Amino acid sequence: MSRIKTWTGSREAGAGKPLSLLLIIVWIATCTAAAQHEQHQPSSKASRPPGAEVRLPVPGSRLPVNVGWEPIRCWRQASAGAVSIGETFTVVLTCAVYEGDNAQVVPDESRLGVASIQMAPFEILGGAHPPDVRRGSRRFFQYDYHLRIIGPDAIGSDVNIPPLTISYRIHSQVGAAATLQGRDLSYLLPMMPIKVLSLVPADAADIRDASEASLAAVDSLRFRSNAFRMLALALGTLAVAMVVLALIPLARLRVAAADTERGRVPDRAILTAVGRELDAVQTRTARDGWTDDLVARAAALVRIVAAAAIDHPISQLPLRAAEDAPEGRLRVTHGSLRSIAASVSSAVTADEVMRARTARDRAFSTTRRQQLEGLAAGLATTSAALYRREPARDSSALDEAIRHALAVAREISSERGWMKQWTKR
- Tell me the mean pLDDT per 10 residues along the chain, length 425: 42 52 64 48 42 41 48 92 88 93 89 90 92 91 92 83 92 78 89 81 57 73 93 95 87 56 76 90 87 88 90 86 82 79 88 84 81 88 79 81 90 73 50
3-state secondary structure of 90: strand
Put simply, whether the predicted model's pTM sits higher than 0.75 gets the answer no
Q: What is the pLDDT of residue 226?
A: 94
Among 196, 220, 246, give the residue marking a domain's end: 196
Among 170, 196, 222, give the residue marking a domain's end: 196
Collect all residues with Cβ–Cβ distance below 8 Å to 71 and sequence separation of at least 6. Answer: 54, 57, 63, 97, 98, 103, 105, 168, 170, 185
CA–CA separation, 273 and 188 (whole Å): 102
Residues 189 and 329 in one domain: no
Residues 72 and 181 in one domain: yes
Give me the domain span that covers residue 406.
Answer: 267-424
Residue 33 dihedral angles phi and psi, to the nearest 5°: -65, -40
In whole angstroms, how far apart are CA 64 and each of 68, 146, 187, 330, 378?
9, 38, 19, 111, 109
Q: Is residue 271 part of a domain?
A: yes
Residues 182 and 273 in one domain: no
Q: What is the pLDDT of residue 63?
A: 42
Residue 170's nearest CA partner among 113, 110, 75, 102 is 102
Q: What is the pLDDT of residue 189?
A: 92
Residue 409's nearest CA partner among 365, 363, 378 is 378
* Total domains, the chain: 2
DSSP letters for 93-162 = EEEEEEB-SSEEEEE-GGGSSTTT---TTSEEEEEE-PPPEEETTEEEEEEEEEEE---GGGTTSEEEEP
Q: Which residues pair with 112 in a beta bridge?
A: none
